Amino acid sequence: MPGLLSSPVCLTVIWFLSWSLRPSCAQIQSDEVSGIQYEHLESNVKLACGKSQIRIPVVWHHNHSSVLPWRMVTSDGTLVLLHVNHSAQGNYSCYDNRGLLLHSVNLRLGRPPGPLSISCQVPNHTHVRCSWEESVRTFLPAKYNASFRGNGQEWKPCVVDNTHKHCDIDHPALWQTIHTLRVTETNALGSETTYDRFKLHELLKPEPPESLLVKELEGYPKRLVVSWSFPSSWPLHVAFPLLFHVRYRPHGSIYWSEIFSLESPATIFDALAGHLHQVQVRAHDEVNLESQWSEWSPLFLCKPWEVYTTPNPDEEDIIPFIIKPETSTAKSHNPEFEDEGNLGLVILLVLFSVVILTTVLSLIFVVWVRQRRRDHVTKQELTSMVKMKSMPI
Ligand SMILES: *[C@@H]1O[C@H](CO)[C@@H](O)[C@H](O)[C@H]1NC(C)=O
Ligand SMILES: *[C@@H]1O[C@H](CO)[C@@H](O)[C@H](O)[C@H]1NC(C)=O
Ligand SMILES: *[C@@H]1O[C@H](CO)[C@@H](O)[C@H](O)[C@H]1NC(C)=O
Ligand SMILES: *[C@@H]1O[C@H](CO)[C@@H](O)[C@H](O)[C@H]1NC(C)=O
Ligand SMILES: *[C@@H]1O[C@H](CO)[C@@H](O)[C@H](O)[C@H]1NC(C)=O
């Protein structure tokens, strides 16, 4: 059959042609494929102009410019860069004497990975997130592989997020006392494995409580009602109770007062009447005493209920030059606050003495009235006795 006959012949011709063309054609093809060459910073780098030896003289370009840094040496078409720094990175191309591109390579410089510093967050009983930072700046893209195990257990994968440099474990065995995490960082120049051992029950640290709200209580100038909700990453279940720590202080004071509560809301009974208060709350696993307190929630500002809601203009007339220094010396312990406290004390003392005075006066009045009555009675008795005596027997 002619078809069968012709095709092997054709194939042979094609094979022969491709074989004969191979040295030049294949050379150029493979050389034109631009790759990336990774090298160590501060090392001496050799860039070959293609895979096979090239006898013809070649010209090298860096970043499409023929101006090469002074420390570059050419020998046998190979470019040698001494003690490279970052400015040696970029695109290197070699051309033959007719200006034909022979080879092109991208040089990337960096360092192999070093040990990592690892830290783990345990926001609830079913989740662990471990994150890490490089102790060595590698300047190169890296991949991470992480696994995790309890004492004497099998290694289990920790699911890695390469860009954010962390990994997640769901449902770890919290009752295992010691856990080991190993993270392997790999880049083009090498790899390094870091081991970290920790106790999960000690790392357990809830997120801060959420939706903090502080409200005045009408009719109570010294009370504040504080409410919040569980951190959203904490399971709402009776098996996982949280202890809450509320702290508060009059705005400007450096001393916090505190209350502990197992549930929201909680009431502050000793707020300073008429003062803006700062309030915040944090949480702790109620069962596991070795675990950690959450961070504090953001501050909430609130003033207890007052009879006169509009500011008293007289008061502002009294203390304007005491208020002014306070606003300029932002946070320092402010005298204004104590002076206002003294003013309150004076008012209190005056009120107290008025009360005492009225009590004493009314007592005197009562005693006087009773005395008068008694006098009246004795007079009556006397007169009746006189009458009796004067009666004829
Ligand atoms: C890199 O090395 C060259 C030559 O030694 C030098 O001129 C240049 O300032 C260096 N650049 C940096 C960023 O160190
Ligand atoms: C060449 O380009 C690379 C990035 O493409 C840059 O980092 C390097 O500094 C450049 N070098 C010179 C000498 O222009
Ligand atoms: C480097 O330069 C050559 C020649 O201009 C070009 O063909 C190649 O795509 C460049 N490579 C990179 C990685 O920029
Ligand atoms: C990551 O580690 C696991 C277990 O140690 C191993 O089976 C896997 O091949 C590793 N993967 C990579 C990409 O290194
Ligand atoms: C535990 O915390 C993780 C991370 O915040 C969260 O995705 C998960 O839903 C939480 N688990 C429970 C039971 O709330």
Residue 347, pLDDT score: 64
CATH of 116-203, one of 2.60.40.10, 1.10.3470.10, 1.20.1740.10, 3.90.1150.220: 2.60.40.10
Residue 346, pLDDT score: 61
Q: For CATH 2.60.40.10, list the domain ranges present in the chain.
A: 28-110, 116-203, 210-302
Select from 145, 147, 169, 180 the residue to mutate for testing ligand 4; criterion: most ligand atoms less than 8 Å from CB: 145
Percentage above 70 pLDDT, the chain: 69
Phi, psi of 177 (to 5 degrees): -70, -50
User: Tens of pLDDT along 87-121?
Assistant: 989 999 888 878 888 888 999 999 999 999 999 99
Q: In angstroms, rounded to a whole number, what is the distance separating the alpha carbons of residues 388 and 393?
A: 9
Instruction: Map the chain to HEC letters.
Output: CHHHHHHHHHHHHHHHHHHHHHHHHHHHHHHHCCEEEEEECCCCEEECCCCCCCCCCEEEEECCECCCCCCEEEECCEEEECCCCHHHCEEEEEEECCCCEEEEEEEEEECCCCCEEEEEEEEECCEEEEEEEECCCCCCCCEEEEEEEECCCCCEEEEEECCCCEEEEECCCCCCCCEEEEEEEEECCEEEEEEEEECHHHHECCCCCEEEEEEEECCEEEEEEEEEECCCCCCCCCCCCEEEEEEEEECCCCCCEEEEECCCCEEECCCCCCCCEEEEEEEEECCCCCCCCCCCCCCEEECCCCCCCCCCHHHHHHCHHHHHHHHHCCCCCCHHHHHHHHHHHHHHHHHHHHHHHHHHHHHHHHHHHHHHHHHHHHHHHHHHHHHHHHCCC
Mean pLDDT lowest among 14-28, 146-160, 216-230, 361-375: 14-28
pLDDT tier, 361 (very low <50, low <70, confident <90, very high otherwise)? confident
Q: In angstroms, rounded to a whole number, what is the distance separating the alpha carbons of residues 285 and 288?
A: 6
Higher pLDDT residue, 57 or 369? 57
Neighbours of 15 (CB within 10 A): 10
- The reported pTM is 0.65
Residue 164, pLDDT score: 94
Q: Please classify residue 340 by burial: count the beta carbons closer than 10 Å to its beta carbon, then call 0-12 exposed, 13-18 middle and 19+ buried.
A: buried
- 75 touches ligand 1 (CB under 6 Å): no
Residue 119, pLDDT score: 94
Q: Which atom of ligand 1 is nearest to the CA of 70?
A: 4
Q: Which fold has domain 28-110?
A: Immunoglobulin-like (2.60.40)
| pLDDT at residue 335 tops 50 | no
Higher pLDDT residue, 280 or 150? 280
Q: In angstroms, rounded to a whole number, what is the distance separating the alpha carbons of residues 213 and 227?
A: 5
| pLDDT at residue 28 tops 50 | no
Query: Which residues lie with the beta carbon below 6 Å from any ligand 5 atom?
Result: 123-124, 126-127, 233, 235
Query: Which residues lie with the beta carbon below 6 Å from any ligand 2 atom?
Result: 62-63, 87, 89-90
How far does residue 123's CA lie from ligand 5's centre (Å)?
7
CATH number of 210-302: 2.60.40.10
Select from 233, 234, 237 the residue to mutate for testing ligand 5; criterion: most ligand atoms less than 8 Å from CB: 233
Mean pLDDT lowest among 5-14, 106-115, 137-146, 232-241: 5-14
Select from 31, 104, 107 the residue to mutate for testing ligand 3; criterion: most ligand atoms less than 8 Å from CB: 104
